[in-house]
């Protein structure tokens, strides 16, 4: 009989730039699904709030842990995401559902004049988080795991913090039971066409 367990996940920004509109999706096969958004994460910082994720271990356990993370930088030029395989089909779909949200977030970010402080930064980060949620909601609600990275949680990860380190060229999944990495990919953010 499988044992239900829970671990916690935090994001660490090692990209060299602020991250805004961070969205994380976790799926344990088709049994458990969790997602969370964070508005803003400065370079070198780790999220203060963790996402609780459920998974099973034990005899007759057949499930797998699957992960997808996406984010923007303040210029909003690209959607950055973990990329174990080609995600182009999904982002063709995103072109049709998020241009208004991204255009609004990009406008708020552009108003910052290069500085990522003050009320404008809060508005831009919140708008980016809303855009990220629109994009990842489709992934969250689907039953598939195409485009997700597999990183298994084990018995010894229960109650522990798993850290996802976002680097310039890869994303590292670090849990007590092990590590894995996947590439990072930046794709042009969908533009609003008038």
- The per-residue pLDDT for range 48-95, each reduced to its tens digit, is 999 999 999 998 888 899 999 999 999 888 889 999 864 545 555 555
What is the mean predicted confidence (pLDDT) over 1-15?
96
Q: How far apart are the first and last CA of the chain?
A: 56
31-40, 74-83, 120-129: least confidently modelled range: 120-129
Q: What is the pLDDT of residue 49?
A: 98
Domain boundaries in the chain? 3-188
Q: What is the pLDDT of residue 189?
A: 77
Q: What is the pLDDT of residue 62?
A: 82
Is 3-188 in CATH node 2.60.40.3820? yes
Q: Is the pLDDT of residue 113 over 50?
A: no
Other beta carbons within 10 angstroms of residue 132's beta carbon come to 29
- The per-residue pLDDT for range 136-192, each reduced to its tens digit, is 666 665 667 778 899 999 999 999 999 999 999 999 999 999 999 999 999 887 665
What is the mean predicted confidence (pLDDT) over 102-112?
53
The candidate with the shortest Cα–Cα distance to 111, out of 76, 60, 157, is: 76
The candidate with the shortest Cα–Cα distance to 108, out of 138, 128, 132, is: 128
Question: What are the backbone dihedrals phi and psi of residue 132, each rounded to the nearest 5 degrees, phi first?
Answer: -65, -40
Better-scored residue on pLDDT, 111 or 6: 6
Q: What is the pLDDT of residue 137?
A: 60
- Residue 129: alpha-carbon gap to chain centroid: 10
pTM of the complete model: 0.79
């Amino acid at each position: 009989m499988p044992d239900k367990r829970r671990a916690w996940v935090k994001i660490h920004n090692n990209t060299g730039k602020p991250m805004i509109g961070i969205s994380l999706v976790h799926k344990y096969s088709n049994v458990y699904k969790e997602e969370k958004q964070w508005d803003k994460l400065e370079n070198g910082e780790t999220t203060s709030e963790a996402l609780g994720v459920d998974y099973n271990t034990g005899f007759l356990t057949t499930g797998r842990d699957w992960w997808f993370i996406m984010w923007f930088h303040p210029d909003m030029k690209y959607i950055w995401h973990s990329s174990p395989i080609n995600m182009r089909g999904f982002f063709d779909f995103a072109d049709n559902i998020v241009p208004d949200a991204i255009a609004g977030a990009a406008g708020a970010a552009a108003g910052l004049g290069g500085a990522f402080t003050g009320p404008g930064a809060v508005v831009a980060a919140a708008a980016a988080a809303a855009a990220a949620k629109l994009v990842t909601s489709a992934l969250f609600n689907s039953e598939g795991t195409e485009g997700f990275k597999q990183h298994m949680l084990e018995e010894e990860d229960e109650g522990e913090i798993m850290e996802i380190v976002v680097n310039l060229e890869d994303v590292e999944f670090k849990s007590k039971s092990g590590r894995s990495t996947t590439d990072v990919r930046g794709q042009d953010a969908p533009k609003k066409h008038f």
